[in-house]
Chains A and B, each alone.
Chain A
Amino acid sequence: MSLSVKHLLGIKELQPADIQTIFRTADNFKQVLQRPIKKVPTLRDTTIANIFFENSTRTRISFELAEKRLSADVVNFSASGSSVSKGETLIDTVNNILAMKVDMVVMRHSASGAPWFLSQHVDASIINAGDGVNEHPTQALLDSFSMKEELIKKGYKGDLKGKRVAIIGDIMHSRVALSNIFCLKKLGAEVMVSGPPTLIPKHIHDLGVKVEYNVKKALMWCDIANVLRIQLERQNKPLFSTLREYALFYGINKQMLDGLQKDIIIMHPGPINRGVEISSDVADSEQSIILDQVENGVAIRMAVIYLLSGKRDLEA
């Protein structure tokens, strides 16, 4: 039992069987996390560097906890206050860290493709914790894992095949959206993206997803709505007039959900802009599984790290 890849750069490169293996393993780690001693000695001989060139709270804490629950040694690095500001290149930075006998690298970078570039130049396994507007694979995995889990709780088979998932909001700047689309399609779900035309990339239907500019219609269509954050920091030019206008036309509130006459599952990868893409009463409602997503994040990341740290050439 291993993954077909050496690095986790994106969901795009994964086989559907890899995703199932990760889910099965995460199930077991989730069980470990519910014990009084939430820790296993599996990776006590492994050192992992978390290299974050971009801000993060959730993902970084989640990765760090996952590593510590597996008994790995952890070093943290963030771009601010490091030699990066002195002009060191990415490869030099990482090679210097690897020279200190680090086995695995978890990296977030603002440039799309940075983890791929790195994987071509270093031996250690790379886990992409988000690269620019490209992919955020562990987020997509924990999203699909949480969907499965919630469906089982609701009495369905834990199968996403044929389930309708709407991804709503800033699709253009979202690596979560792209990874989610790849992941959901590989698991057989139907995917729709919805939001203002300026925030939906032109040729996105080539990925096999439906496009709907009316959020209300998207909600009526779907079983699960994954609401994304408006990424103001990635917008160089204004793509909608004001946040208030966005909230008015594309924000999801309780009234809309109550008008649907069915219970859809509400998700959000965080951080939430309360009152913009999603109102507080929705984010905190019974239908929302936002905090389950965060909880599952640790188990999913433990699974990915465990599965990538298998066979190693001990001579090296």
Chain B
Amino acid sequence: MKTLLDHNQLNITLQRLAHQLIENHLHFENTALIGIQPRGVLLSDRIATLVKKITKQKNIDYGKLDITFYRDDLHTNELHVPRKTDIEFSIEGRNVVLIDDVLHTGRTIRSAMDALIDFGRPKSVELLVLIDRRFSRELPVQPDYIGHTVDTIMTQKVKVYWQEQDKKDEVVLID
């Protein structure tokens, strides 16, 4: 097991990601943040809080998206527990930033885009991830905002721990 980001590094990275978002979206008038259930939401909660704090904007649209019913591994893997989808605003014509903790094969993001489009036609969709496991993609998906890039092989696992749920902020690589 190897630590990829410790508490301090993780929080510096989150700060940078929040600033990069603000650089591109400034006042977030036409932008919505959407975290992917379940683990992406822990990241997006942090990012949304940081963005609100830095921009001093209170009304940034922020939602959560569950992709269970859009997965492509229904008959090959165990069924996943569905979580709540919570998008209280229209995404029609908006710039949507999808947020997930780890980008691996790209299949989750494929499902997320399908799920998202059932809510309307966004003007654009961007992707923010904390960890990009490059070289393990099975679909042509590239993130727009990357916290940290790692080279991994299929058998390894990347685990992101969050204070809120796991009592620590840390990203580790498990062999």
Contacts and interface: CB of A to CB of B under 8 A. Distances in A.
A35 B114 CA distance: 15
The 5 A-B pairs with the shortest beta carbon distances in the complex, nearest first, are A40-B69, A312-B75, A28-B82, A42-B69, A37-B118
A309 interface: yes
Contact of B70 (A2, A25, A40): A40
Given A2-B79, A70-B69, 14 more contacts: A1-B81, A24-B81, A28-B66, A28-B84, A37-B118, A37-B119, A41-B69, A41-B70, A306-B69, A307-B79, A310-B74, A310-B79, A311-B76, A314-B76
Interface in A298-316: 306-307, 309-312, 314
Q: Output the residue of B75, B81, B84, B114 with the most chain A CB within 10 A.
A: B75
Interface residues of B, number: 21
Given A28-B68, A42-B69, A1 B79 contact: yes
Contacts, number: 57
B80 interface: yes
A236 interface: no
Contact of B75 (A36, A37, A314): A314
B164 interface: no
A32 interface: yes
Contacts of B77: 311
A31 interface: yes
A35 B79 contact: no
Interface in B68-108: 68-71, 74-85
Interface of A: 1-2, 24-25, 28, 31-32, 35-37, 39-43, 45, 70, 306-307, 309-312, 314
Contacts of B114: 41
Nearest to A313: B75
Contacts of B82: 24-25, 28
Contacts of B68: 28
B76 A31 contact: no
Nearest to A3: B79
Nearest to A309: B74
Q: Output the residue of A24, A28, A39, A306 with the most chain B CB within 10 A.
A: A28
A42 to B, nearest CB: 4
Contacts of B81: 1, 24
Contacts of A45: 75
30 contacts: A2-B78, A24-B81, A24-B82, A28-B82, A31-B85, A32-B69, A32-B85, A37-B118, A37-B119, A39-B118, A40-B69, A40-B70, A40-B118, A41-B69, A41-B70, A41-B114, A42-B70, A42-B71, A45-B75, A70-B69, A306-B79, A310-B74, A310-B78, A311-B75, A311-B76, A311-B78, A311-B79, A312-B75, A314-B75, A314-B76
Contacts of A31: 84-85
Nearest to B77: A311
A1 B74 contact: no
A312 B79 CA distance: 11
Contacts of B119: 35-37
B122 to A, nearest CB: 14
A103 to B, nearest CB: 10
Contacts of A35: 118-119
